[in-house]
């Protein structure tokens, strides 16, 4: 009885893992600033779902707390803070010139997901815990794809979302490898993530007001020019 | 008790600066609180020398020799930078209305910097380092000019991107800790004690992630590109803190972690640290030759010194660890002095370009002498302290059996030495530009420069007993053969 029950939970967890990865791909392919934010919210929900599933299966209050913290910070607080802080036109924006076009981006993201599998392969091999086998590679993939979003995007807010997606990847892996992290550490991390969003949002607002665009690529004045020795 | 005061007084100061009736005296509050915090750290250092460690809240707030050394550097540099800020922000800043905001944020930065060496739990160390990055980013953007915003955006993207990467690393570390059976609390000491039982695979992987994440914050090449931009645009007192201690603190975490790796028999990474450190030193040495702004020049010099400290830690002997600690101390006190001097040049002449500053000795003798002193000291000329610590690192490297690395390091150090002195030579001598007369330098700036110069001059010829004992104690915590 408990065997099939756990199997069901593991199956559901694998499903949420797939959805986490899919929402990461969604972030890569979406041009609309608003759409990218939606994908982040969806991804955070799936990360929380995984925490609830495993927490329920193992009777772990720590994981349930982690899920609640996840929803409170990334599904509710951060989108609300960004909405309050940023002028509407930042939201309406569509990214016109991306560094890499969308089909190539998607291909790269796929390659990153495969690379993640290989990167953490030796670590996964040290354990027989099925949750680690699912969550660690997908979490790593989330981290890498988020990092790619951060580098390839030209708009300030999608860059921030890429950063938060990286954090989602770390949390998703954390559900399996650090399920009993002390509550105070989880809370501190969540507050820190919110602060990151606030600070980057504040910067974005100042940049939009001063420079007139939230396109981060427009800022390219500071660079190293060789000194001419006379 | 003294430790609690040292760590939490800056937080109180930040709150006080925020209060409406106290906003006009924000500078006074900041200087007073930070000076008390520094004095409390000195008292703590005395206790650490006596007992080996000081516990304020068991299991949470505690310092050992290494932690105390870093805390001492943080409070010392931040106190002097606060004094310096008094005159500098009044004359050299364009947005004066929000000065209280500046000081409040500054105190928060000091608090975050002080928490990192004092907190025991490794997971909370991550939180502390991230807070440092956030407050520092806001301070770099303080002037709200296009340049400042661009610099802080670059800094935010490059250094905050490290946050999730290093978080991943700390989670893997927690996993390694749990699979070793636990028993001890997850603290630096606990991890060190269990280093031989933790799976080396996990340990190595987690170290690499933390190294990538925090290496960017410490300004190690090739993730150093935010550093010169931030230093050219940030208000000068902030530069002193950024270069003197904000880069040191993430490096401190890397060194702590490295000591655990080095204690684990299978996961050897020392040689890699030597290579990566040398890469930073080399990149910085060649960039120093072609730099055009003097504040950027000192920023590149920071990259160089972070690299040297990493190389020394990679040698993994007691002797080299002592050199690394001495270098950390000497760099923090000397580099902050460099930025005080650079800030005075900026105040006096209003230009950031090296080529536009000529004959500084004639236009502003005080700024000129300070610049000469600090450039000689930071380049590593005898009889300044950096010469001593660099020399001890080189000789420790030879004895540890790394002749090739020592040769390359020595060559890079000489290139950097020549580059800095060539650049400064042009600024100090020659014909001053007749265009504008030099502006006067505020008293608080002069005071800070004189106070900051005292240890730089003294430590080169005489290392007091307590300082030597603290360095030895700190080096012991780094381990090594």
Q: Which residues pair with A155 in a beta bridge?
A: A215
Residue A214 has pLDDT above 80, yes or no: no
Query: Between chains, do A192 and B123 touch, taking CB under 8 Å as contact?
Result: no
CA B324 to chain A, closest CA, distance in angstroms equals: 30
Contact B389, B330 (CB under 8 A): yes
Query: Between chains, do A224 and B175 touch, taking CB under 8 Å as contact?
Result: no
Domain coordinates in residue numbering, chain B: 2-478
Instruction: Give the Cα separation of B156 and B164 in Å (integer).
Output: 13
More confident residue, A26 or A85: A26
CA B378 to chain A, closest CA, distance in angstroms equals: 21
Query: Between chains, do B163 and A195 touch, taking CB under 8 Å as contact?
Result: no
CA B338 to chain A, closest CA, distance in angstroms equals: 21
Q: How far is CA B3 from the centre of its chain?
A: 21
Contact B442, B90 (CB under 8 A): yes
**Token pair of B453 as six digits:** 């110069």
Instruction: Give the Cα separation of B128 and B143 in Å (integer).
Output: 25
B233: left (phi over 0), alpha (psi -120 to 50) or beta: alpha
Query: Between chains, do B291 and A224 touch, taking CB under 8 Å as contact?
Result: yes
Q: Please tell me the predicted confidence (pLDDT) of residue B189.
A: 82
Model pTM score:
0.92
A43 vs B contacts (CB less than 8 Å): none
Q: How far is CA A198 from the centre of its chain?
A: 16
Instruction: Give the Cα separation of B293 and A107 in Å (integer).
Output: 42
Q: Please list the pLDDT of chain B residue by residue as tens digits (481 residues).
A: 889 999 999 999 999 998 888 888 889 999 999 999 999 999 999 999 988 888 888 888 989 889 999 999 999 999 999 999 988 888 766 665 688 889 999 999 999 999 999 998 888 899 999 999 999 999 998 888 888 888 888 888 888 888 899 999 999 988 888 888 766 677 888 888 888 888 888 888 899 999 999 999 998 888 888 898 898 889 999 999 999 899 999 999 999 998 888 887 665 788 889 999 999 999 999 999 888 889 999 999 999 999 999 999 988 888 999 999 999 999 999 999 999 999 998 888 888 888 888 888 888 888 899 999 999 999 989 889 999 999 999 999 999 888 999 999 999 999 999 999 998 988 888 777 766 667 788 889 999 999 999 999 999 888 899 999 999 999 988 876 6
Test the B interface: residue of A199, A208, A209 with most B CBs within 10 Å? A199
Query: Between chains, do B127 and A188 touch, taking CB under 8 Å as contact?
Result: yes
Ordered DSSP codes for A142-205: HHHHHHHHHHH--BHHHHHHHHHHHHHHHHHHHHHH-TT--HHHHHHHHHHHHHHHHHHHHHHH
Instruction: Give the Cα separation of B339 and B359 in Å (integer).
Output: 19
For B327, residues 6+ apart whose C-beta sits below 8 A from its C-beta are B305, B308, B309, B312, B386, B389, B390, B393
Task: Encode pLDDT of A147-181 as tens digits.
Answer: 988 888 877 888 888 889 999 999 899 888 888 78
For B427, residues 6+ apart whose C-beta sits below 8 A from its C-beta are B294, B345, B354, B357, B358, B360, B371
Give per-residue burial for B239-254: e unless 16+ CB within 10 Å, then b: bbbbbbbbbbbbbbbb
Contact residues, A window 163-202, toward B, CB-based 8 Å cutoff:
163, 166-167, 169-170, 173-174, 177-178, 180-182, 184-185, 188-189, 191-192, 195-196, 199-200, 202
Query: Between chains, do A196 and B201 touch, taking CB under 8 Å as contact?
Result: no
Task: Encode pLDDT of B131-156 as tens digits.
Answer: 999 999 999 988 888 888 888 888 88
Contact A93, A49 (CB under 8 A): no
Across B209-284, the runs of DSSP E, i.e. the strands, are none
Q: Please tell me the predicted confidence (pLDDT) of residue A217.
A: 66
Q: Which of B78, B151, B84 is nearest to B113 (CA)?
A: B78
Query: Between chains, do A189 and B126 touch, taking CB under 8 Å as contact?
Result: yes
Using the Cβ of A15 and the Cβ atoms of chain B, whether some distance falls under 8 Å is answered with no
Contact B3, B43 (CB under 8 A): no
Peptide bond before residue B289 is cis, with ω within 30 degrees of 0: no
CA B164 to chain A, closest CA, distance in angstroms equals: 5
CA B402 to chain A, closest CA, distance in angstroms equals: 31
**Residue located via tokens 């893997």:** B172
More confident residue, A5 or A135: A135
Q: Please tell me the predicted confidence (pLDDT) of residue A228.
A: 45
Q: Please tell me the predicted confidence (pLDDT) of residue B341.
A: 92
Using the Cβ of A8 and the Cβ atoms of chain B, whether some distance falls under 8 Å is answered with no
Average pLDDT, rounded, for chain B:
89
Q: Which residue of B has its CA nearest to A177?
A: B175
* CA angle, residues A202, A204, A209, in degrees to nearest 5: 100
Three-state DSSP class for residue A215: strand
Query: Between chains, do A195 and B134 touch, taking CB under 8 Å as contact?
Result: yes
Point out the residue among A143, A221, A224 whose CB comes nearest to the CB of B150: A221
H-state helical runs in chain A: 2-29, 33-58, 61-70, 78-85, 88-92, 102-124, 130-152, 156-177, 183-211
Query: Between chains, do B202 and A123 touch, taking CB under 8 Å as contact?
Result: yes
CA A207 to chain B, closest CA, distance in angstroms equals: 6
Q: Radius of gyration over alpha carbons of chain B, in Å?
A: 21
Of these ranges, A197-201, A222-226, B255-259, B329-333, the one predicted with the greatest mean pLDDT is: B329-333
Q: Which residue of A has its CA nearest to B198?
A: A126
State what percent of residues in chain A have pLDDT above 70: 89
Q: Which residue of B has its CA nearest to A227?
A: B290
A143 vs B contacts (CB less than 8 Å): 164-165, 168
Burial of A29 (0-12, 13-18, 19+ CB in 10 A): middle
Q: Please tell me the predicted confidence (pLDDT) of residue A229.
A: 43
Ordered DSSP codes for B308-321: HHHHHHHH-SHHHH
Q: Which of B73, B172, B166 is nearest to B125 (CA)?
A: B166
**Residue located via tokens 């005489």:** B462
Query: Between chains, do B144 and A206 touch, taking CB under 8 Å as contact?
Result: yes
Three-state DSSP class for residue B62: strand
Count of Cβ atoms closer than 10 Å to residue B355 Cβ: 14
CA A223 to chain B, closest CA, distance in angstroms equals: 8
What is the pLDDT confidence band of residue A227, given thresholds at 50, 70 and 90?
very low
DSSP state, B384?
A: S
Instruction: Give the Cα separation of A98 and A149 in Å (integer).
Output: 11
Using the Cβ of A150 and the Cβ atoms of chain B, whether some distance falls under 8 Å is answered with yes
Domain coordinates in residue numbering, chain A: 2-216
Residue A3 has pLDDT above 50, yes or no: yes
Point out the residue among A177, A211, A220 whose CB comes nearest to the CB of B149: A211
How many Cα atoms sit within 13 Å of B147 on the Cβ side?
13
**Calculated CA dihedral for residues B427, B433, B435, B437, nearest 10 degrees:** 60
Contact B179, B198 (CB under 8 A): yes
Test the B interface: residue of A192, A212, A223 with most B CBs within 10 Å? A192
Q: Which of B253, B256, B257 is nearest to B115 (CA)?
A: B253
Point out the residue among B137, B146, B164 whose CB comes nearest to the CB of A169: B164
Task: Encode pLDDT of A87-107 as tens digits.
Answer: 777 777 766 566 678 888 889
């Amino acid at each position: 009885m408990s065997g099939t029950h756990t199997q069901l939970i593991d199956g559901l967890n694998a499903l949420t893992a797939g959805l986490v990865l899919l929402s990461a791909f969604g972030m890569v392919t979406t041009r609309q600033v608003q759409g990218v934010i939606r994908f982040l919210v969806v991804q955070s929900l799936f990360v929380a779902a995984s925490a609830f599933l495993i927490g329920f299966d193992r009777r772990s209050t720590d994981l349930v707390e982690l899920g609640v913290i996840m929803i409170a910070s990334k599904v509710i607080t951060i989108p609300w803070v960004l909405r309050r802080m940023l002028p509407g036109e930042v939201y309406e924006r569509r990214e016109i010139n991306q560094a890499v076009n969308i089909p190539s981006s998607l291909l790269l993201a796929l390659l990153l997901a495969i690379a993640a599998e290989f990167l953490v392969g030796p670590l996964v091999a040290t354990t027989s815990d099925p949750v680690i086998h699912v969550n660690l590679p997908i979490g790593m993939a989330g981290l890498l794809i988020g990092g790619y979003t951060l580098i390839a995007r030209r708009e300030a807010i999608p860059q921030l979302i890429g950063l938060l997606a990286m954090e989602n990847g770390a949390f998703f892996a954390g559900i399996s490898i650090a399920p009993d992290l002390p509550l105070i550490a989880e809370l501190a991390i969540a507050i820190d993530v919110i602060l990151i969003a606030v600070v980057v949002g504040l910067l974005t607002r100042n940049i939009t007001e001063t420079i007139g665009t939230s396109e981060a690529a427009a800022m390219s004045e500071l660079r190293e020019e060789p000194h001419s020795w006379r | 008790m003294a430790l609690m005061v040292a760590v939490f007084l800056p937080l109180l100061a930040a709150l006080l600066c925020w209060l409406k009736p106290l906003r006009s005296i924000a500078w006074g509050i900041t200087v007073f609180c930070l000076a008390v915090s520094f004095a409390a750290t000195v008292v703590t250092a005395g206790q650490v020398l006596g007992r080996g460690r000081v516990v304020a809240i068991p299991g949470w707030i505690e310092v050992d020799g290494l932690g105390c050394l870093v805390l001492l550097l943080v409070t010392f540099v931040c106190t002097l930078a606060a004094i310096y800020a008094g005159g500098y922000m009044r004359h050299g800043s364009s947005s004066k209305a929000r000065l209280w905001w500046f000081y409040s944020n500054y105190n928060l930065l000091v608090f975050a910097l002080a928490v990192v060496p004092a907190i025991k739990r490794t997971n909370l160390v991550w939180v502390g380092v991230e807070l440092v990055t956030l407050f520092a980013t806001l301070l770099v953007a303080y002037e709200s000019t296009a340049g400042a915003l661009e610099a802080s955006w670059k800094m935010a993207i490059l250094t905050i991107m490290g946050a999730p990467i290093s978080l991943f690393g700390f989670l893997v570390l927690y996993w390694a800790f749990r699979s070793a059976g636990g028993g001890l609390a997850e603290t630096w000491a606990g991890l060190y004690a269990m280093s031989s039982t933790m799976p080396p695979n996990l340990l190595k992987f987690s170290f690499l992630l933390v190294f990538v994440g925090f290496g960017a914050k410490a300004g190690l090449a090739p993730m150093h590109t935010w550093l010169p931009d931030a230093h050219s645009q940030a208000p000068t007192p902030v530069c002193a803190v950024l270069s003197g201690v904000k880069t040191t603190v993430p490096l401190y975490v890397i060194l702590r972690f490295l000591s655990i790796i080095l204690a684990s028999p299978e996961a050897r990474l020392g040689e890699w640290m030597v290579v990566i450190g040398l890469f930073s030193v080399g990149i910085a040495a060649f960039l120093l030759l072609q730099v055009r702004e003097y504040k950027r020049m000192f920023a590149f010099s920071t990259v160089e010194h972070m690299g040297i400290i990493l190389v020394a830690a990679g040698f993994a002997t007691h002797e080299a660890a002592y050199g690394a600690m001495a270098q950390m101390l000497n760099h923090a006190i000397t580099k902050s002095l460099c930025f005080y001097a650079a800030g005075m040049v900026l105040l006096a002449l209003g230009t950031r370009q090296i080529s536009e500053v000529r004959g500084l000795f004639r236009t502003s003798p005080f700024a000129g002498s300070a610049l000469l002193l600090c450039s000689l000291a930071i380049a590593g000329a005898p009889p300044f302290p950096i010469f001593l610590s660099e020399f001890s690192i080189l000789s420790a490297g030879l004895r540890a059996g790394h002749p090739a690395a020592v040769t390359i390091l020595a060559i890079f150090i000489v290139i950097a030495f020549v580059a800095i002195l060539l650049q400064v030579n042009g600024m100090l001598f020659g014909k001053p530009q007749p265009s504008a007369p030099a502006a006067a330098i505020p008293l608080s700036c002069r005071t800070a420069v004189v106070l900051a110069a005292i240890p730089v001059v003294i430590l080169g010829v005489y290392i007091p007993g307590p300082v030597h004992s603290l360095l030895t104690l700190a080096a012991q915590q780094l381990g090594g053969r």
